Amino acid sequence: NAGVTQTPKFQVLKTGQSMTLQCAQDMNHEYMSWYRQDPGMGLRLIHYSVGAGITDQGEVPNGYNVSRSTTEDFPLRLLSAAPSQTSVYFCASRDQGRNEQYFGPGTRLTVT
């Protein structure tokens, strides 16, 4: 199993540009989440999904959209990038019947 994969690893955007961060998992996990981590800080939840077709907001959802059309994929869309969205983004997944989350390697995003 590849586990949780994220692409791209690095990305630089200009203010106002849009892009999609990709996340995929091959463990057939129902739950998937997106977090952001600013320098020297902990992780904050952006959006999460409890299954295909179901998404909900986390702590810091503004400026981001998600969709969950398949169990495997959970893309995160930045609608109009702002410098405040410069951060490292982590995707995670979890099996419904278990407690531990599995995290991807992260995407490092810089908005200039």
Partner 1 sequence: DAKTTQPPSMDCAEGRAANLPCNHSTISGNEYVYWYRQIHSQGPQYIIHGLKNNETNEMASLIITEDRKSSTLILPHATLRDTAVYYCIVRVAYTNAGKSTFGDGTTLTVKP
Burial string for 78-92 (b: 16+ CB within 10 Å, else e) reads beebeeebbbebbbb
* 3-class state of residue 83 by DSSP: helix
Cβ pair 6, 102 in contact under 8 A = no
Q: Contacts with partner 1 in 8-67 (CB under 8 A)?
A: 31, 33, 35, 40-45, 48, 50, 58-59
Q: Does position 102 bind partner 1 by CB under 8 A? A: yes
CB of residue 100 to partner 1, shortest distance in Å: 4
Choices 10-18, 63-71, 76-84, 93-101; region in contact with partner 1 by CB under 8 A: 93-101
Alpha-helical segments (H) within the chain:
none
Binding site for partner 1 (CB under 8 A): 4, 31, 33, 35, 40-45, 48, 50, 58-59, 88, 90, 92, 94, 96-97, 99-106
